[in-house]
Amino acid sequence: MRWKKQLLTLTPYQPGKSIESVKKQYKLDQIIKLASNENPFGCSSKVHSALQSQQPGFAIYPDGYATTLRESVASFLKVNQDELIFGNGSDNIIQIISRSLLHPGANTVMATPSFSQYKHNAVIEGAEIKEIPLLDGQHDLEKMYAAIDDHTNVVWVCSPNNPTGTYVSKNNLITFLDKVPAHVLVVLDEAYYEYVFADDYYDSIELTRTYSNLIVLRTFSKIYGLASLRVGYGVANRSIIQALEPAREPFNVNSFGQVAAQAALCDQEFVQNCKEKNRQGLTQFYEFCERHNLSYYPSQTNFVLIDIKADANQGFQYLLEKGYIVRSGKALGFPTSLRITVGSSDQNEGVLNALGEFLTKQNTEKLSKN
């Protein structure tokens, strides 16, 4: 068969080890997964009751327009209903954007390291990829702007950025948006938006009114705790949405996801509570890093990237055998760092104790070698 040649260069997404297989392999009773930035507190109890009382039929196709969810999100964000596009996770919207704008002969600009799916989809579409290294863990918007040319169709800005947790400041973003040519779509991926507490963060929805080439992506997978149900959305002016809609599969958001997301949106108290607990959790990580003299990026998300000054895979393996699944920085572009999701206070304490043991062991080994 004559496969697109770019597919041969890609490997499928490597999902983390499953909890069950790790339990068996290392004979552990309990495994704590802090690898995928899932919400350690689950989701709002309103979601469970909504799914019970509004049980969607299995045999019936979902509402392809996500009408009820659309009404709720529109009124929550104070945007028009035709300024929204829904996806099977925001991953799906990244795919729709790529499918709509990227092709051989076009190029796309992104930061590196950043979220892997921008590049993955661009490769599949055969577009040229311009990767601009982070500067101190942050998007280098000046260099990203300089990389834009006549063939640039999409620029990806992940703020807060995965895997560093850093964000683009308001001034930097606005300076950048003021300069980007109108034919270039700027994608602002805000998967962690609800966790942000920085004072100089911007009102991104308001920015979509000023900049007609901006789309903001958000998701129900992270703070809302609905990763398994796959619901994300994009906010942009109606001409962008209209242009993207034909590339969206008709029934891309399932019925359970629609009901759950709508219920989750109605419980902002749950969201605020998780945000607060996450902030406290972040301080547990920072204190640990300061005590052990480790550097980290201050995070606006529910994860921290910590430089453990040792091989990331070794650190990963040590924690795995203690029952903690984290993300090794190896595959993320940070070979001596671990990306650890902020869990509950007890989970944080547990993983940090185990990491402390690892560091002690490393130091003893170093000393005995000298």
Ligand X SMILES: *Cc1c(COP(=O)(O)O)cnc(C)c1O
Among 91, 265, 322, 355, indicate the residue that binds ligand X (CB under 6 A): 91
Quick one: which segment of 88-96, 165-173, 271-279, 356-364 binds ligand X (CB under 6 A)? 88-96
Pick the closer one to ligand X by CB: 23 or 99.
99
Collapsing DSSP to helix, strand or coil, 132 comes out as strand
Pick the closer one to ligand X by CB: 91 or 125.
91
- Residue 343 interacts with ligand X (CB under 6 A): yes or no: no
- Residue 195 interacts with ligand X (CB under 6 A): yes or no: no
Whether the bond between 160 and the residue before it is cis, its omega within 30 degrees of 0, is: yes
- Of 134, 33, 111, nearest to 340 by C-alpha is 33
Quote the least distance from Cβ 133 to ligand X, whole Å. 18
- Residue 300 interacts with ligand X (CB under 6 A): yes or no: no
Cβ atoms of 9 and 123 closer than 8 Å: yes
Among 102, 189, 312, 322, indicate the residue that binds ligand X (CB under 6 A): 189
Pick the closer one to ligand X by CB: 130 or 230.
230
Residues 199-238 touching ligand X, rule: CB under 6 A, are 219, 221, 227, 232
Q: How many chain residues bind ligand X (CB under 6 A)? A: 12
Pick the closer one to ligand X by CB: 83 or 189.
189
Quote the least distance from Cβ 16 to ligand X, whole Å. 13
Site string for ligand X, 144-183 (x = CB under 6 A): --------------x---x---------------------
Angstrom distance (rounded) from CA 28 to CA 264: 33
Site string for ligand X, 250-279 (x = CB under 6 A): ------------------------------
Pick the closer one to ligand X by CB: 305 or 310.
305
Locate the DSSP E strands across the chain: 32-33, 84-87, 107-112, 128-133, 152-158, 185-189, 214-219, 232-235, 303-307, 324-325, 327-328, 337-341
> For the chain, what's the residue count?
370
Residues 93-122 touching ligand X, rule: CB under 6 A, are 115
DSSP sequence for 336-353: TEEEEE---HHHHHHHHH
Residues 24-63 touching ligand X, rule: CB under 6 A, are none
**DSSP secondary structure code for residue 200 in this structure:** T
Among 110, 191, 223, 253, indicate the residue that binds ligand X (CB under 6 A): 191
Angstrom distance (rounded) from CA 253 to CA 243: 19
DSSP sequence for 275-341: HHHHHHHHHHHHHHHHHTT--B---SSSEEEEE-SS-HHHHHHHHHHTTEE-EESGGGT-TTEEEEE
Sign of the CA dihedral running 7, 10, 11, 15: negative
Chain residues binding ligand X by CB under 6 A are 89-91, 115, 158, 162, 189, 191, 219, 221, 227, 232
